[in-house]
Structure 1
């Protein structure tokens, strides 16, 4: 089969080169559209349930909210484990499924189980599933602040919560935007007990009236008024404090009693559960999270474009800082470093080939294996759902030195056979195609076996389980796919290019070895004789060096990942359970001020507590 493939490639060299060009074009078209990230997707399919139970202590939340939810979701097919966390007024459950489970099916099953337990939760408890996000989902932090202090915390949070957040959610790929800090505005009704007694009312009467103050119900329509269909619009929607103040509670002695007569109505801040700051100033911190499988760089570009469009129309006194944390900066740095390593490796390979072969044509034929193999690797990675990340690029970078091996072997043997054929009498010379076919087929078995053996070295990576498999498998896939692609290039494109570019009758300059090869041969011969003479001593030294290497290697430390210089540090402060938000804020603010005084610190932002 491979023999026929080589013959077909030589006989239809133009067609083979056209198909190779199509492969390069497809890779060039798809590469900018391939998702880019720091690491592969590492999290197993996980459904997160958040339940708000205002007023309950942490142990009550665990007993009456967390435990019923945990019991309800246990037993779902494909479930891996359930992790829960209970705090004052808040319960979080992480429902993890086995690798490979459909996240949408998992959410459907969790939703069905959650519906069965809602009635058993304490009154006023609100439980819902959070949007699907990635384990590396926090891609950007924004700080909304008022540098001149002209905008208060209430209006800062209102703009961030109700205006900017909704605009950010329109960017494709943004899964969630969490807001913390400032003061969340709400309508507050402060009942006056004396007025309630005066009119014979209770607090529940005021609550019921306030609840009915806002209505979004339709009022129907008039089917035919002057040949027109007229909708009837009701105005029972709250737009200001006065709308609530004017809401009637009851009729007392023939006169209506309104909420404004028995209570003070105002627009005030909700009870705070978290605070934020930027550069030591109070700020609203917005956390942008992405959906799994999306392109972090594309999402960041979309957010930047949105903020640029909004900048001229920002309310006076409000500033949005988008330089706090940007995962895209680290991705660009990491990917560029690997790309540079890939580029440098390709340049070094090209120089070595040129020095050894001393022929522009043979060097070009050999180097075609690099772009074609890498292009095939990129297309296969995209087909398998992998992203362009440090691991996939690392696999391609590792493979660069091996990608030209098969092509070098084939070109060198073809070139040698062409020189031998040129020295024969004219009557005994073969045609160029036959010579190239014989030369390529001659080294085919060794070339195929050598490539498969090298690929088998990375086979164990394909069978790793858990997070290790998710992390290292893309590296193995990238290496093996590009290596196998280089073998196919050596069996098809390389013979085709040899038939088109190589001279069937090399001149004397081309027929001899290059100067570098001659120097290396002159140096290698005495070294080889010396090694054969002292072979036992040499083997003993090699064994000792191997043993020493193993011993030194056993003294090294180990870690799952090396340290990464992202340009940012995350400092986590832990206070005793039950510490108030004011005390936590005071502690965190003190640390923030000290961090800002350190040399080299450009900025510092802070999130304390949680979002309301």
Structure 2
């Protein structure tokens, strides 16, 4: 072989001799390393998806319900003027409200400002913190800062524009709103929690017309006819179209402004009876001033209100754990009221459970395939016992890079099982072949391991070289999912390759 091959063969031969001299010490040392890696794992952060490297922001600006389009536009313009003071921002675009028939309808009090940016002398977190600080002066607006893709993912997951959705359920809306504000006060000082907002619940003034069925019957007015009259008189009915050039306009019939502009005019408007007499509306109905919530949120038929927030500078799981602790200590929920956590946290927990079950299933299938191959439980068990060796490198690679385990990282850990099993199969199959040739145990391990050294190292090297470009591209747009997975696989590939070459011979020598 080449000079490099001879060097690694001599080095590995020396390591193997020491391994076979003290196999139990090697096994215990590796076991201790695995336990230590599990301790490191318990301290890592958790997140559903990694942060997206988007060079644009989506800033949601929500003013109180009922705000006119003009006032909402003024608030949006103020936000844009503040944003354009930043050297990283050259242009903004804003959309205020959306059509009622739009699949993502929004009222006139809601605006979304899209902000492309280019970082210069500071990192993304410092830039976003500065934006939040400057926008905090905007009066009467709830502002949430996100990025285009992440913003839409959050909205699909929980119906909110934020990473975390704290959903409070209960029967009475006013009490829900009070509890939600207590929750906000309890959690808004949580480290790493930003953009904390309570879903706005505003009473909208209304005029209610309540028909008196007895009096209607006395005047010979059918209830259906009366309701049709009210609908046409005050809401209007389209009876045709008027054309001006190529434009068509609906022709709507209803009372004029004088007869519907205030509650007294409505009370005194005239209604036709069965005998064609005209009587004031207040003869046959109660006309009262009232108010009702502009919006009632429900989930599974239960009324709810949402307290939302984003995460900055920390992992999602630790922030949610702190929030849960604060709510448990500082907020008491009356009977019939409860809290649930949604958004990315909820989906991270579900996905983690699913992937855990998937990984257990993968290990069982790998074990069955190994047993079918070797027909000996002990040999299949030796290979399976080495699967955790791949986790060691993956855990440390996450610790020394992002420090956060996302779903992409978890998929990388599952992929490592196949890599670790492959190396074990190469070694065990070679040992069995040499034993069948009549070679003693020690020579079988030495020769078999040296025979498989080059294939194992070359396979690991080529796989690792292919993963390096993905692993180092973590800060580039489009690599947010691939990079964490590549980092885990690369770290696990190193640990499984090195430790398998030592641990499997050590375990096999105890035969």
The verdict on a shared fold, with TM-score over 0.5 as the criterion, is yes
The residue number in structure 1 matching 2:450 is 441
- 1:291 paired residue among 307, 311, 327: 311
> Which deviates more from structure 2 when the two are superposed, residues 42-51 or residues 13-22?
42-51
Tell me if structure 2 keeps the 8 A contact 1:66–1:91: no
2:180 is the counterpart of 1:160: yes
Matches within 5 A, 1:420-569: 420=437, 422=439, 433=442, 435-456=444-465, 458=467, 461-462=470-471, 463=473, 466-498=476-508, 500-502=509-511
Change beyond 3 A, Cα 1:130–1:330: closer
The residue number in structure 2 matching 1:39 is 49
Change beyond 3 A, Cα 1:448–1:83: farther
- 1:106 paired residue among 127, 130, 135: 127
The residue number in structure 2 matching 1:567 is none
Tell me if structure 1 keeps the 8 A contact 2:163–2:345: no
2:320 is the counterpart of 1:320: no
- 2:200 paired residue among 181, 186, 200: 181
Task: Report the TM-score, using the length of structure 1 for normalisation.
Answer: 0.52
Shift of 1:140: 2.4
- RMSD over aligned CA atoms reads 4.4
Hey, what's the Cα distance between the residues in 1 that align with 2:164 and 2:130? 29
The residue number in structure 2 matching 1:7 is 14
Tell me if structure 1 keeps the 8 A contact 2:202–2:294: no
Number of aligned residue pairs: 388
Matches within 5 A, 1:323-338: 323=340, 325=342, 327-338=344-355
2:78 is the counterpart of 1:65: yes
Hey, what's the Cα distance between the residues in 2 that align with 1:439 and 1:69? 70
1:322 partner SS: strand
- Deviations for 1:373-397, whole angstroms, at most 9, x for unmatched residues? 0232123123221533332222232
2:159 is the counterpart of 1:139: no
Tell me if structure 1 keeps the 8 A contact 2:12–2:450: no
Shift of 1:372: 0.9
2:478 partner SS: helix
Tell me if structure 1 keeps the 8 A contact 2:183–2:327: no
Change beyond 3 A, Cα 1:63–1:168: closer
The residue number in structure 2 matching 1:30 is 40
Shift of 1:62: 7.8
Tell me if structure 2 keeps the 8 A contact 1:44–1:99: no
Tell me if structure 1 keeps the 8 A contact 2:167–2:307: yes
Change beyond 3 A, Cα 1:354–1:99: farther
Change beyond 3 A, Cα 1:41–1:105: closer
Hey, what's the Cα distance between the residues in 1 that align with 2:510 and 2:497? 20
Tell me if structure 1 keeps the 8 A contact 2:62–2:143: no
2:367 partner SS: helix
Change beyond 3 A, Cα 1:2–1:420: same
Shift of 1:129: 8.2
Shift of 1:403: 1.9
Tell me if structure 1 keeps the 8 A contact 2:60–2:111: yes
Hey, what's the Cα distance between the residues in 2 that align with 1:272 and 1:99? 46
Shift of 1:407: 1.9
- Deviations for 1:293-346, whole angstroms, at most 9, x for unmatched residues? 6454454455445555567x446xx75342484644432322222222211111
Hey, what's the Cα distance between the residues in 2 that align with 1:337 and 1:399? 17
- 2:358 paired residue among 341, 347, 356: 341
2:439 partner SS: helix
- Deviations for 1:223-243, whole angstroms, at most 9, x for unmatched residues? xxxxxxxxxxxxxxxxxxxxx
The residue number in structure 1 matching 2:417 is 400
Shift of 1:125: 5.9
The residue number in structure 2 matching 1:380 is 397
1:2 partner SS: helix
Tell me if structure 2 keeps the 8 A contact 1:16–1:493: yes
Tell me if structure 2 keeps the 8 A contact 1:62–1:91: no
Hey, what's the Cα distance between the residues in 1 that align with 2:359 and 2:507? 24
Tell me if structure 2 keeps the 8 A contact 1:179–1:284: no
Change beyond 3 A, Cα 1:293–1:34: farther
Hey, what's the Cα distance between the residues in 2 that align with 1:63 and 1:93? 8
1:72 partner SS: coil
- Deviations for 1:248-285, whole angstroms, at most 9, x for unmatched residues? xxxxxxxxxxxxxxxxxxxxxxx999644336999672
Tell me if structure 2 keeps the 8 A contact 1:180–1:285: yes
Hey, what's the Cα distance between the residues in 2 that align with 1:402 and 1:279? 44
Tell me if structure 1 keeps the 8 A contact 2:412–2:485: yes
